[in-house]
């Protein structure tokens, strides 16, 4: 069953906001067994909206549309859909009551918000339990168009509770089987070369997708059809035998969450001392709910004074070995471990770039030290020339290095 996602809003086209809705919807639709044929972003223009619906309906069965349902004059989607489907707006008391329930002080309901209760006459109205703009479902010559709010949490709520269950009941899509592997130690091209024979001999209908991120690769093996589960397990066995220890997880999980799970399982506490990564590791770790159970804090020791005054890195080591060195990384890690009284620590020191490198220590040189109880490992990484990528690669390598120590 083929679907398309259409996001509406001038603010998307001018870069004022980022369209996160499409990626989220595409993932959920795929998991539910639907094929996402295309994703489009268009402006708040009635002719463009109608032309897009005509064009996209020629290729897909379902259009999922978000945006343009607010109370202001630039929100024209509802009116435009009336024009397209040849119907009119009518007041819906159930929608008005829902709006009053959503807005706690409904006695001050203004006229613009009250107008949200007007809906197309010839459609199925689905109440928005977390917002004021109702969802409209149109059945049109054997096809479906659903119009939803562009506010991400509103769209996600209604997709999970109403839209996906209704679409699955109506179309009964085939099961989408997938397995995800997190793979370390390979670039995208190196991994593709290494497993080329495996990929070339996949059974009909199977696919393999490469999703690279700085310092880590994600492989997705997939096929449509619940009846092919046995084949999937056979291919998984072949792939895991081929890659061995390079696979650090056989599920779609963020590295920071995986590290957090290990720390929590082993009842370990953790802290970071970050120079070149500027607190990015701490940011990633604390983006995981429940990280306060194991993460105790971070020292962003960007200046040498912070390294000496807070982490107690000896001045003679800084002057003799240089800031970007194995010795300084070790002292930083041991210093933050003692300062925070934790079981594990990570320290990073390096040159993220784009400037600051020398012939001896070029841009992208990073020393990472990890400490686990009484064991210390310091490694030198030669990354790239680009600052953002270097920070992300260093963060990934640091978490992998600590994870490796814990699992050993």
Domain segments of the chain: what residues? 2-171, 176-249, 255-407
Question: What single-letter DSSP state applies at residue 136?
Answer: E
Question: Computed from CA positions of residues 67, 72, 78, 80, in that sequence, does the dihedral angle turn out positive or negative?
Answer: negative
Q: Are 2 and 37 in contact (CB under 8 A)?
A: yes
* Average of per-residue pLDDT across 231-253: 97
Confidence band (pLDDT; 50, 70, 90) for 370? very high
Q: Which residues contact 85 (CB under 8 A, 6 or more apart)?
A: 120, 122, 123, 138, 140
**What is the Cα–Cα distance from 278 to 297, expressed in whole angstroms?**
13
Report the percent of the chain where pLDDT is more than 70.
99
Tens digits of per-residue pLDDT, 201-221?
Answer: 999 999 999 999 888 999 999
Q: What fold is seen in the domain 255-407?
A: Maf protein (3.90.950)
C-alpha to C-alpha distances, 84 to 7, 50, 138, 145, nearest whole angstrom: 17, 6, 11, 11
Q: Do domains 176-249 and 255-407 have the same CATH topology?
A: no
CATH classification for the domain delimited by 176-249, as one of 3.30.70.2860, 3.10.580.10, 3.30.499.10, 3.40.50.150: 3.30.70.2860
What's 2-171's CATH class? alpha beta
pTM over 0.75: yes
Tens digits of per-residue pLDDT, 111-161?
Answer: 777 778 889 999 999 999 999 899 999 999 999 999 999 999 999 999 999
Confidence band (pLDDT; 50, 70, 90) for 98? confident
* Average of per-residue pLDDT across 346-369: 96
Question: What single-letter DSSP state applies at residue 173?
Answer: P
**What is the Cα–Cα distance from 33 to 26, expressed in whole angstroms?**
11
pLDDT value at 275 more than 70: yes
Which tokens go with 127? 């109440």
- The predicted pLDDT at position 94 comes to 87
């Amino acid at each position: 069953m083929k679907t398309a996602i259409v996001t509406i809003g001038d603010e998307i086209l001018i870069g004022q906001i980022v369209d996160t809705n499409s990626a989220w919807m595409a993932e959920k639709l795929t998991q539910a067994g639907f094929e996402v044929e295309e994703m489009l972003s268009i402006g708040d223009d009635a002719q463009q909206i109608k032309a897009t619906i005509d064009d996209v309906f020629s290729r897909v069965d379902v259009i999922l549309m978000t945006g343009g349902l607010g109370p202001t004059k630039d929100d024209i989607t509802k009116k435009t859909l009336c024009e397209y489907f040849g119907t009119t707006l009518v007041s819906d008391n159930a929608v008005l009551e829902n709006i009053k329930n959503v807005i706690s002080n409904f006695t001050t309901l203004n006229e613009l918000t009250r107008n949200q209760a007007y809906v197309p006459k010839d459609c199925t109205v689905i109440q928005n339990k977390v917002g004021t703009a109702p969802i409209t479902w149109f059945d049109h010559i054997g096809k479906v168009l659903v119009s939803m709010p562009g506010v991400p949490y509103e769209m996600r709520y209604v997709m999970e509770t109403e839209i996906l269950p209704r679409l699955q009941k109506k179309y009964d899509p085939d099961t989408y089987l997938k397995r995800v592997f997190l793979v370390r130690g390979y670039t995208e091209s190196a991994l593709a070369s290494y497993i080329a024979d495996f990929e070339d001999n996949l059974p009909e209908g199977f696919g393999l997708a490469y999703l690279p991120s700085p310092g880590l690769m994600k492989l997705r093996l997939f096929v449509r059809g619940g009846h092919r589960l046995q084949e999937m397990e056979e291919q998984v066995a072949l792939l895991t035998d081929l890659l061995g220890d390079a696979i650090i997880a056989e599920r779609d999980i963020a590295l920071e969450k995986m590290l957090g799970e290990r720390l929590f399982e082993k009842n370990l506490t953790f802290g970071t001392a970050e120079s070149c990564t500027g607190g990015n590791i701490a940011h990633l770790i604390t983006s995981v709910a429940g990280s306060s159970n194991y993460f105790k804090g971070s020292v962003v020791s960007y200046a040498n004074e912070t390294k000496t005054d807070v982490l107690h890195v000896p001045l003679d080591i800084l002057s003799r070995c240089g800031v970007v060195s194995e010795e300084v990384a070790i002292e930083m890690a041991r210093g933050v471990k003692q300062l925070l009284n934790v079981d594990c620590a990570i320290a990073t020191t390096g040159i993220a770039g784009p400037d600051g490198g020398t012939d001896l220590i070029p841009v992208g040189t990073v020393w990472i030290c990890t400490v686990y109880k009484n064991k210390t490992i310091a490694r030198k990484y030669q990354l790239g020339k680009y600052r953002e990528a270097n920070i992300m690669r260093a963060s990934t390598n640091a978490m992998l290095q600590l994870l490796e120590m814990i699992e050993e």
